[in-house]
Structure 1
């Protein structure tokens, strides 16, 4: 029974892998074609390109880690394979999370309307603000990698001293749980920033609707539609990443109790975040949505 469920989960994660690569690859392809043809690209499209690339890397890393954990866990004994896998996951997850957060900040500064001088200054220099935030996140990435590298070194030293300790799944939780805890703590900051952006966007929409009471235009009002579309994208990111975060927490417990099936289930649900959110980004972007409809129409016509 357990082997059958394991096979089913493997098929599901492979399907998510294919869907995630197609959706993120579509975002990169369409925007790059537009970039080449027009010789310019909007800030939001540039963010989407790098976000999609980071998520492709994250999806590949999760699949490779899944395969190695099931069949070739001993490849980590040398330490080189362990560092490569952990560092690649940290880097891809860092940019996937922070670029989605930066997208939330971009929508906030572009769409929201506040009379605060500080907000107006940030709104006026939105591109510079986005660039500075992205460069500033590299500090978090650097500190995260240093902390994890220290933990890897200490754990490998302990492993080398204990010659009778066989490298197996039973010993791996002593390493993976603290590392995941460190990575999760570094993920709380961008998640909190995205949550604040969502709350400010909601407040801005509420203020706008209050002003519209005397001259109600409903969803036909462009500013109202812009607020609602931005809120859909931000809240979908928050909900999907929250589920991803919850899966990580549950996987800690499953590793401690050596429950491989629950661990596989959590990874399967976790891959849903970088795969499905890209579809929502496509639907929320007029250019990408139109391109996807054209592709779908051509595929349907060939049938």
Structure 2
């Protein structure tokens, strides 16, 4: 039964891997083509490119880790392999989460309307604000890597003192749990920021609809549609982000209680976020949606 579930989880992960690479690769390709042809790229498109690249890296690292755990678990005793693997996953995960959060902030500053002088100041300097936030997130990344590096050094020191295979494998679960707990805690910050942006966007939409009902009854306002489209993108991000955080929390618990099948389930749930959210970003972006429809039409015509 356990081997059957492992096979099912592996097939699901491979399917998510294919979808994630196609959706994120499509985002990178279309925006790069536009960059080359027009010699310029909007702030949103620049964010999307880096976001998609980070997610491609995250998906590849998860798949590699999956097969290493299944077929070559002894590789985790190698300090170099372990450090590179965890650090690269942490960096990719950091940019995958924070760039999506920055995208939520961008929608808020571009679309929402508040009379606060502080908000108007940020709205007029949205590109600089986004750049400063991105640079500020590097502090979180640096602190995260320092904390994880401490865990890795402690683990490798224990391995050097006791070379017993049973000792190494039993204590690896404790080491992995501490690393995942650290990652989960650092992932809560961008989720909180994205949630605040979402709530402010909802409040702005509510104020706008109230104004429309009082002053423009019976008229359709394009700003309302822009609001709603932005809300759909942010809602999809928050829901998938919440499932990703839940998978990280469950993964930590699975390491604490050494439940291998639960750990596999958590990994398949975790990969669903970087794979499917990019697909939803394509549907929510007019340029990417139109390009995807053209590609689909050409593929269908050749059949």
Determine if contact 2:24/2:52 at 8 Å carries over to the other structure. yes
TM superposition score normalised by structure 2? 0.97
Determine if contact 1:254/1:260 at 8 Å carries over to the other structure. yes
Equivalent residue number for residue 61 of structure 1 = 61
Q: How many residues align?
A: 302
1:72 aligns with 2:72: yes
- Give the secondary structure class of the aligned counterpart of 2:171: coil
Determine if contact 1:108/1:197 at 8 Å carries over to the other structure. yes
Equivalent residue number for residue 117 of structure 1 = 117
- Alpha-carbon RMSD across the aligned residues, in angstroms, is 1.2
Structure 1 spans left out of the alignment, 5+ residues = none
Determine if contact 1:74/1:168 at 8 Å carries over to the other structure. no
Using the TM superposition, name which of 71-80 and 274-283 deviates more.
71-80
Equivalent residue number for residue 236 of structure 1 = 236
TM superposition score normalised by structure 1? 0.97
Q: What is the rounded CA distance, in whole Å, between the counterparts of 1:17 and 1:228 in structure 2?
A: 30
Q: What is the rounded CA distance, in whole Å, between the counterparts of 1:26 and 1:63 in structure 2?
A: 20
Q: What is the rounded CA distance, in whole Å, between the counterparts of 1:126 and 1:217 in structure 2?
A: 33
Equivalent residue number for residue 27 of structure 2 = 27
Alignment of 1:280-291 (within 5 A): 280-291=280-291
Q: What whole-Å deviation, never above 9, does each CA across 1:172-191 have from its counterpart, x for those lacking one?
A: 21101111111111111111
Using the TM superposition, name which of 284-293 and 157-166 deviates more.
157-166
Deviating runs (4+, > 6 A) in structure 1?
Answer: none
Determine if contact 1:282/1:289 at 8 Å carries over to the other structure. yes
Deviation of 1:163 after TM superposition, in Å, equals: 3.1
Q: What whole-Å deviation, never above 9, does each CA across 1:152-188 have from its counterpart, x for those lacking one?
A: 1011111211233536543321101111111111111
Determine if contact 1:169/1:258 at 8 Å carries over to the other structure. no
Deviation of 1:258 after TM superposition, in Å, equals: 2.2
Equivalent residue number for residue 13 of structure 1 = 13
Equivalent residue number for residue 158 of structure 2 = 158
Q: What whole-Å deviation, never above 9, does each CA across 1:247-271 have from its counterpart, x for those lacking one?
A: 1111222222222111111111111
Q: What is the rounded CA distance, in whole Å, between the counterparts of 1:169 and 1:59 in structure 2?
A: 25
Equivalent residue number for residue 44 of structure 2 = 44
Structure 2 spans left out of the alignment, 5+ residues = none
